[in-house]
């Protein structure tokens, strides 16, 4: 009787250890992934539709330009050093151009006349809560 009890107890410990290891692994893998890639992804929306996804490279020394068709004409977007900005836009207010460079997760650039939105995700300041869901 004592032997059976002991056996059950050992199994419980074993199951607990496995569960703990699995939980640790699940927590660690996305955590490590976000730690090693400290770059943001810029999502560009026109009329609420995703038209372009750009991974912002922190090592990118040379500026790169993208042209996106907005509601009133072409919008020139520039990336450099893990940052993104609207370089030129056909809008009158130029608010989007004056927003200048953004690089942190959650930051946005909006050009209302162009119906254009640039949103940053998975940036350096990300705590990982959004990225653990795949
Ligand atoms: Zn604008």
For ligand 1, the distance from its centroid to the CA atom of residue 115, given in whole angstroms, is: 9
Half-sphere exposure (Cβ direction) of 15: Cα atoms closer than 13 Å:
6
Q: Pairing mode, if any, of strands 64-69 and 74-80? A: antiparallel
What pLDDT is recorded for position 91? 97
Burial of 65: CB neighbours in 10 Å, binned 0-12, 13-18, 19+: exposed
For ligand 1, the distance from its centroid to the CA atom of residue 130, given in whole angstroms, is: 29
For ligand 1, the distance from its centroid to the CA atom of residue 66, given in whole angstroms, is: 15
Distance of alpha carbon 77 from alpha carbon 100, whole angstroms = 11
What pLDDT is recorded for position 7? 60
**What's the token pair of residue 7?**
């056996």
For ligand 1, the distance from its centroid to the CA atom of residue 90, given in whole angstroms, is: 7
What pLDDT is recorded for position 36? 44
**What's the token pair of residue 39?**
């770059």
What pLDDT is recorded for position 126? 45
What pLDDT is recorded for position 96? 97
What pLDDT is recorded for position 31? 62
Q: What's the predicted TM-score (pTM) here? A: 0.64
For ligand 1, the distance from its centroid to the CA atom of residue 51, given in whole angstroms, is: 17
Biggest alpha carbon–alpha carbon distance for the chain: 85
For ligand 1, the distance from its centroid to the CA atom of residue 129, given in whole angstroms, is: 31
> Do the Cβ atoms of 61 and 82 come closer than 8 Å?
no
- 63-67: long-range contacts, CB 8 A cutoff, minimum separation 24: none
Q: What is the pLDDT along the chain (134 residues), one digit of tens a residue?
A: 556 566 667 788 888 899 999 988 888 776 665 544 567 899 999 999 999 999 998 888 899 999 999 999 999 999 999 999 999 999 999 999 999 999 998 899 999 999 999 999 975 444 445 544 44
For ligand 1, the distance from its centroid to the CA atom of residue 43, given in whole angstroms, is: 17
For ligand 1, the distance from its centroid to the CA atom of residue 12, given in whole angstroms, is: 62
For ligand 1, the distance from its centroid to the CA atom of residue 91, given in whole angstroms, is: 5
């Amino acid at each position: 009787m004592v032997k059976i009890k002991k056996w059950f107890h050992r199994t419980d410990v074993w199951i607990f250890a496995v569960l703990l290891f699995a939980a640790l692994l699940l927590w660690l893998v996305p955590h490590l992934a976000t730690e090693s890639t400290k770059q943001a992804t810029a999502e560009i929306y026109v009329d609420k539709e995703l038209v372009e996804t750009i991974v912002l490279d922190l090592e990118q020394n040379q500026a790169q330009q993208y042209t996106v068709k907005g509601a009133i004409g072409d919008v020139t977007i520039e990336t450099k050093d893990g940052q993104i900005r609207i370089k030129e836009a056909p809008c009158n207010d130029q608010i989007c151009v004056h927003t200048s460079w953004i690089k942190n997760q959650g930051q946005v650039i909006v050009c209302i006349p162009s119906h254009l939105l640039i949103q940053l995700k998975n940036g350096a300041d990300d705590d990982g809560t959004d990225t653990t869901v795949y």
